Each structure stands twice: as structure tokens, then as C-alpha cells.
Structure 1
Amino acid sequence: MEVVLFDQYASGHHLEYASRMAAELNELGISVSFLGVKRTERHREFFEDVETSFLAEETAVTEHADSVEIVEEAAEFATRSGADVLYFLQIDDVTDAIYRSERHEGIDVVGEINGAFFRNAHLTAPFRSLLGVPILGDCHAEAFRRLPSWAIERVPSLVARTVGLYGCLRTGRLDSVLVHSPEAKRFVETFGFDVPISEIPDPLEPWFEWDSSRLDARSRLGLPDDEPIALYFGQLRDDKGIELLLEALRRYDGPAFQMVIAGPPDDMDKSDLTAVELPPQVSLWTDIEFVPQEDVPYYFLAADAVVVPYRRQFGAQRTSGVFQKACGALRPLVAPNFGTLGRRVTERGFGTIFEAGSPTALAESLAEVARGDTQADVESMRAYANRQTYERAAEMVIQSYEKC
């Protein structure tokens, strides 16, 4: 079987995921190549042992091309290459483009929903009910598909991606869909079509197998070795709760601890963090940039707990790379009490939950971390991590190919 893995994005998380998945599929006997839009230095860093191609080198497509053109060129490339499967590693933002593109016969199309699709998904319930009405839903979807590009750009992204997924499932433009949680699987199944939907792991690295202690990790990063440390890792985005976390730190009234915030700026930057007036018990340590790949594990291994203060608009059906990394390091989690994340923490004993959106509740949870009261069921977390490997994800992806 020959497979083309396609991802139009080139950030670290995307490249790590694509390169690891390609390597594991190759190990399992699948002939895999990677297709991107434009080659970058970071591609060279991640894809040393995987065959790569780029639309900007193979076609007239540029990184600024219309998303429909990019999708169609990717499908044409895969067809010319003689591939059996075109595997979109993230369809979250391009379901509408896949729906509006031409259907390519002779090649199976597999689409993976990483999670961004579910941002604010709770707001789509009335609209999904409308799509579920016989004939009416099809009429709306067909009318959407015929809109010119300038009109599509004016459609709210939440509506565009929802109608796009409905249309892909209705017309067979997707032969199989992959998701990362039971909640996500149920959400997609509500559209009511027979396209196979498979839940696969959001894979992680079992860093707990490394010969690196908490003190070793702190020494590498220059962190204090004698204070409790809570970690926020990732982009400083509103839906990931960075503003909520800062308000919780302002209100904090507990034992002394170190709050480490590491990740690139987005809705906030370093100046926003340094402007916050914090109580004397809170020491703030920041690294507001893309963290080098080789340093990422040590942030998690250095922490006493990992905080994922996500707001409800993050999406109840989503998993989280940060959540998974915490499990790979066997570090307790502080998570909101909703969706996939809250359920997994509660059911599996992965840490503590707080009332979503409440800075006061989050501040109380941070005080538990500072007191050393936030613990995880280590054996439960280890067992979970061992089921979330890239090897297992690749095995389940192959099973999804076979369902096409």
C-alpha cells in the first residue's frame, strides 16, 4: 500500500506528528511519503529519513493559494504518484475546501480531525439540527458548495467547517475519518452517514522511561530545585485559558510556588505577563517563544503539575497535546471540569479538576499543587501512556485504510 501524508502547516507540532507517523507507518510495511506546501528549514529537521515533496516545487501552487486549489493539487499529486491513499493529517480548517474540491476517483481520502474543528462546537448544535433535516440539509450544503470564494470567506469559520464536514460525508469526498476521543467520534456520528469513523490515540512519547529526574530537568532549564513548580505550556491563547490563569495568579492566596509559562505568544505576549501584579508567594518564570524540540520533555519532567486551564470554547470533544505530554512524563494535571480532558482526569485519577472558567477555583487548585496535594495515580497514567504510542496510532490508522 502506498500512502501520501499531506499537511499544509509547518509548525513544530505538525511536523513532529507527521514525521513520527510517517516513520511508524513505514516500519509497519506501508510505503509512505510526505507532501507539504512549501519546504522550510524545519522540514529538513524533522524529515531526514522520509521521502518529501512540496506543492510549491511540483506545481504552480504557492503558500498563499486558495485552500481549494491546495486540496485539489494535493489530490492530483497523490493520483499521479500512484498512491492508494491520500491521508490529510489535519482537516479541521479545510473541510469546506475538501467539500468544494473535485472528487478524485481511484484514490481513497482519509481525513484526521486533530481538534481545532471542535473549537466552540457547542454553538453549532442548532445548525447541525438543521442539517439533519432530510432534503433541507442537502439543499443548504449544496448551496454552500456553489458559493464563490469571496462569499465563502465571509461565512463564519464555525459554519464553514461544519457544513464542509457534512458535505464531505454526504458526497463521499472523505472515505474515512479519524478522531482522538469518544466525544469527537459521537459528534461526527451525529451527521448520520455511513463513512467509517475511527478513534485513534493522540500519540505521546513515554518520557517516564528516560533516565532523567525532576532535579536533572530543572538543572538543564535553570529552574529552582527547591520550590513546587506548576507548568503552563503552549501558545498563549485565550481559549487555552492564559488570561484565566493570570487572573487566578493575581487572586492566589496560598503557599509559595513557581509558575512556569513556556510557549509562543499569541493572544498575549511577554509584556502582558510581566505587567501582571502578582502576590509575593508567586514567582513567575517565562520562556515566551517556540521551545526547541530537544527542550520540550524537560519542561514536563521538571514540573510538579501541569496546568491546562482551557475555557469551554476550546472544545469539549478535543484532546490536548499538552495533556498527553504530561501523561508521558507521569505528571499530575490540573484541568477544567468539562469534556474529554475533565473526564479523563476524573475517571483515571490523573490529578485534579476545577470549575471551568473560574479563576478562584483555579487559584485553589494551584494552592493544592504548592502544598503537594495534587497527585496522579501513576500506574493508571503509565498504563494510559503505554496505549497512546505512535506505534499503536499507526496500527489503528492502517486499520482505517482497510475500511475505505
Structure 2
Amino acid sequence: MHILIIEPGSTGHHLIYLEKIAKGYLASGHNITLCTLASTHENPLIKSLALSFKSRINLTYIPDRAYQEALKSKFSDIGREIKLRRIFKAAYKKTHSSCAVDYVFLPFLDYCLYSIGLLGSPFGKTKWGGICMRPSFHYQASGVIAPKPKLSRIKELLFKKCLSSASLDKIFTIDEILEKYITNTSHKPPIKIKYIPDPAELIGEHTFKSARSRLGIIESAIVILVYGALNERKGIQALIEALNNSTQLDDVHLLLVGKQSEKINNYIHAHASQLKTKERLYTLDRFVNTDEQQMVFAASDIVWLGYQEHFTMSGVLVLAAISGKPIIGTREGLIGWYVNEKKLGVCIDTQKPSEIQLAVQLITSEINNNSDLYKNQHFNDHNWEEFSRTLSFTKNN
């Protein structure tokens, strides 16, 4: 079969998902066309795929300018989605005209999810599927602390209309409560939605001692890890303020791993001098490789997820859970829901330094009394093997 995969995103999880999905279809004997941004063709990951599967993979592209113009739509979310749907339709027609497409897959369906519900599939009668990650119309009804999104009722209706598309194979979601909500509120079987655990991996051989030694962190320290793209919404300012203003947290050190925004970098230089002077601050101000990722989690005791205005799923939450590290997280969004529901740590109000301090003290006490307290089974299926099994790459044979 000929599978068309459309993914214009080129950062973060977008390329990781694209690689795993492409390899899954290739391993199942399918031929694929990858439709990405023209600039993404030079990415080492894409070049490696093209080189490894020469005769079975074709590369086509979405013009970067057209994609960027769609993102800047003057008509808010729905205007952007309609433009992206139009771009995806053109990509499909171009590919289909040269070699018949049997199936279309969107690793990030959120590009045009609601516009498909409004206008129908852009892929004609060809079967299609995809993964959605951002719907939030169900949050409040499911016990998630979050603001009610604009047009939430309309978005819910469009989502369900999308699910009723005759050519739809299945919509996968990394949000388990979305699947439950749709199943409980829909009355027209079959319901073409399936939960797929958000996959994450920690690959490496670092132990606690070797990781601490490599990073220059003393073994007796309690280390809080902040991991990922370090911007203002990660709540780093609140965490530094809490550590600066407590004499009871002198043994707590801070490990910041990930590329820092200019504002965060300036804040650290201006406000974290006390931590630096006492050698309680460690930074890797860059993207890290797979081995380094495993190393920093091995070196840490607590993972910080005190994010602000972040309501969707978090890959760092999954990494913390599979490594058995307790989380200090926001009460809001899926982070708050998971931390409470799965007992992954402590939720706090990120605007209150005293709550942050108490949470650190509580978890430190728990770690000292029971190092295995946060090792749980809830995230055993959050791996690429289970991801591939759930997607079932051979289902279209």
C-alpha cells in the first residue's frame, strides 16, 4: 500500500512521531510519501530515512511560505485550520495524481481537526486517520481545572462530526479522558476514537552516582529538575523565588536542562546568584541528546511541572513517571489531573512560593523515608512498542 504522511511541524515531538510512524509503516511492508516543509528535507532524521529506504520512500513538500501564512491567519483558529486543510488537500491531490494514495495519516491532526469536521475530509474517498493532542472542550466536564475554551460546544460538535466521516479510519488521542468523554456522550456507534499512550523513552546506562558525578552534583543534594524548552510559562521564576526565600531548603539544588529563552536567561542571571554562589544551580542551556536526557533524570530527585497556562498533556510528565520521580506540578490542566489521579506527586499554586516550599519539604521527607514511593505501574505502556501496537500499522493490508 501507498501511505501518505503529512507533517509540516519540524520541532519537538513532531519529528519524533513522524520518524516512528514512518518506520512503522515501512516495517509493515508499505511504501510511503512523507510530506513535510521544504526546509525539513535537510533535517538529518529525514535524510537518514530517505537514505535507508530509498526505493520505498518518497519526499514531497509543503512550501514554507504558504504554511507560515496559514499560521498567521487573521480569522483566528478556524481561519488557520481552513487554510491548513486547503494546503493538506493540495498535498494529497499532488501525491495522488502521481501515485495513487491508499491511506493518509496525520501525526498531528490538530492542524485541521475542526475544519475537517466543518468541511469534510480533504482526502476525497481515501481512508485516513490521525492523532489529536489538543482538544479541551471536555476538560471541565471531566474534572480538569482549566478555563472553558472559546466555542467549546461548537468544537465538541465539530469533533463528533469529524468522527462520523465515512472515510475516517480512526482518530487516536493521547488524552485518555477525551476517549472516555466521547464514548460516554456519543450515541452513534461505531465510535472511531482510541486512546494511545503518549510514548517516552529514557535510553542510557547512567546510574544515580555516575549521573551526579558527570554533572558535578554532590550525592547528598536533593535535586529538582526542570526539563525541556525553558520559557516563561514553565514557572521557573516562581521556583527560584521559593528556593531563594527559604532557609529550610539549603540542601535543595536546581538543575535546569534545555534551551533557555532570552527572558528566562536574563532572569536567572539577575535572580539566581544566591543559588550559583552556593553551588546549588546547574544548567545545560541547550538541547540534549538521548543519553544526556537519561542522565539528567537519573541525577534528579524531583521533577518540576509547575507550568503556567499549560493545560494539555506533557511529555516531561511521562518521563518523570516512567523514571519514578515525584512531580511538583500545577493544579491545572492534564498535568494537575494526572498528578492527582495517578498519585505522581504534589500539586501547587504556582503563584504561592510558600506552597512550593511546603511541597519540596513534603516530597523530600517522603524520599528519605521511602525511595520507591513514586514507582508506579500506570505508565508501563507509555513506550514506542505499545504505540506501534495501538496504531496497528498492518491494519490496512
TM-score by length of 1: 0.74
Give me the whole-angstrom Cα distance separating, in 2, the residues matched to 1:83 and 1:222: 54
Residue 89 (structure 2) pairs with residue 54 (structure 1): no
1:314 is matched with: 310
Deviations 1:239-288 (Å, cap 9, x if unpaired)? 43334333433433423221011222348331122211565578222223
Q: Mapping of 1:218-237 within 5 angstroms? A: 218-237=212-231
Give me the whole-angstrom Cα distance separating, in 1, the residues matched to 2:64 and 2:283: 42
Q: Percent identity?
A: 18
Runs of 4+ in 1 over 6 A off after TM superposition: 161-164, 399-402
Gaps in structure 2 of 5+ consecutive residues: 71-83, 140-145
Conservation of the 8 A alpha-carbon contact between 2:3 and 2:31: yes
Conservation of the 8 A alpha-carbon contact between 2:104 and 2:129: yes
Conservation of the 8 A alpha-carbon contact between 2:2 and 2:101: yes
Q: 1:53 to 1:10 in 2, by over 3 A?
A: same
Give me the whole-angstrom Cα distance separating, in 2, the residues matched to 1:223 and 1:231: 12
Counting matched residue pairs gives: 363
Q: Mapping of 1:207-286 within 5 angstroms? A: 207=203, 210-255=204-249, 256-266=251-261, 268-277=263-272, 283-286=280-283
Shift of 1:32: 4.6
Shift of 1:179: 0.9
Give me the whole-angstrom Cα distance separating, in 2, the residues matched to 1:46 and 1:222: 35
TM-score by length of 2: 0.75
Conservation of the 8 A alpha-carbon contact between 1:350 and 1:375: no
SS at 1:11 equivalent:
coil
Q: Mapping of 1:156-167 within 5 angstroms? A: 165=159
Deviations 1:58-79 (Å, cap 9, x if unpaired)? x797553533443223322553
Q: 1:344 to 1:60 in 2, by over 3 A?
A: closer
> Out of 85, 89, 95, which is 1:72 matched to?
89
Give me the whole-angstrom Cα distance separating, in 2, the residues matched to 1:60 and 1:353: 40
> Out of 85, 104, 107, which is 1:89 matched to?
107
Conservation of the 8 A alpha-carbon contact between 1:368 and 1:374: no
- Give the structure, 1 or 2, with the largest relative contact order (CA under 8 Å, sep 6 or more): 1
Q: 1:12 to 1:358 in 2, by over 3 A?
A: same
Conservation of the 8 A alpha-carbon contact between 1:350 and 1:376: no
Give me the whole-angstrom Cα distance separating, in 2, the residues matched to 1:322 and 1:65: 31
2:42 is matched with: 40
1:128 is matched with: 152
Shift of 1:231: 0.3
2:21 is matched with: 21
* More deviation, 227-236/31-40: 31-40
Give me the whole-angstrom Cα distance separating, in 1, the residues matched to 2:109 and 2:18: 14
Give me the whole-angstrom Cα distance separating, in 2, the residues matched to 1:69 and 1:128: 23
Q: 1:242 to 1:55 in 2, by over 3 A?
A: same
SS at 2:109 equivalent:
coil
2:127 is matched with: 108
State the superposition RMSD in angstroms.
Answer: 3.8
Letter in 1 for 2:286: E
Conservation of the 8 A alpha-carbon contact between 1:185 and 1:197: yes
